[in-house]
Amino acid sequence: MKSTAAKSAGTKSLADRVRERRHALGLSQPQLAKKVGGITYQAIQQLENGGGSRHLVGIARALGVTAEWLQDGVGPSPSKTAPARPGAADKLKVLGMAECGADGWSLWNGDVIDLIERPASLIGVPNAYAVYVVGASMEPRYFPGEVVHIHPGRPVDLGAFVLVQRRGKAGDAPLAVIKRLVKRTASKITLEQFNPPKLFDIKAGDIVSIHRVVGSGEA
């Protein structure tokens, strides 16, 4: 007869074991992907969301476990003690977006996918965050994969680059874009993208938030 602990372990999935082991090692999804080599953080994200991966052996090696343990929970469990992460409280959170449509629109999940060094301009700003640019709609100002810093408390002036969240359909996550604000009225805002050049409007009632982009980690 199986013990209670064994039964509990058996209820965990591959996704659970990957996520828990990554957290125990104090790794973000991009950091784990970098340790594995040759994969993107989206591959880790997909695996933790219940998908499969042909990189399971490499992921297991980076996590310090066997592929068999990740897949089936077979074998000795790794240590559950998470090592301290020096300075983690001072890091800037990188929040997740995933490309989903035209004009640079992305799904906004708000998950913390990385922790990076906090730039001097955001020291002491507790609600500041960063995102990785998704899509090429703002080239040549911002490129896919580039990290940009967001200051929610800064005034949003005309001509500023902004991250705008728009309401999704009922029950769906919000959508987000990084664009340049060119006009603002009580009923709508007008945004500019660079690639291809285009202006478009968003109704004020559809806007969840508008936050100021204050810099780039690539600059």
pLDDT at 82 exceeding the cut of 50: no
Q: How far apart are CA 45 and CA 42, in angstroms?
A: 5
Q: How far apart are CA 120 and CA 35, in angstroms?
A: 28
Q: How far apart are CA 92 and CA 31, in angstroms?
A: 14
pLDDT at 190 exceeding the cut of 70: yes
Q: What's the pLDDT tens digit per position in 56-72? A: 888 988 888 888 888 88
Q: What's the pLDDT tens digit per position in 145-165? A: 899 999 999 999 999 999 999
Q: Which residue in 93, 88, 99 sits closest to 42, CA to CA?
A: 99
% of the chain surpassing 90 pLDDT: 36
Cβ–Cβ < 8 Å for 193, 104: yes
pLDDT at 2: 40
Whose tokens are 């993107």? That residue is 40
What stretch of H or E contains 182?
A: strand 175-184
Indicate left, alpha or beta for 171 from its phi (over 0: left) and psi (-120 to 50: alpha): left
Please, what are the domains in the chain? Answer: 4-72 (1.10.260.40), 88-216 (2.10.109.10)
% of the chain surpassing 70 pLDDT: 86
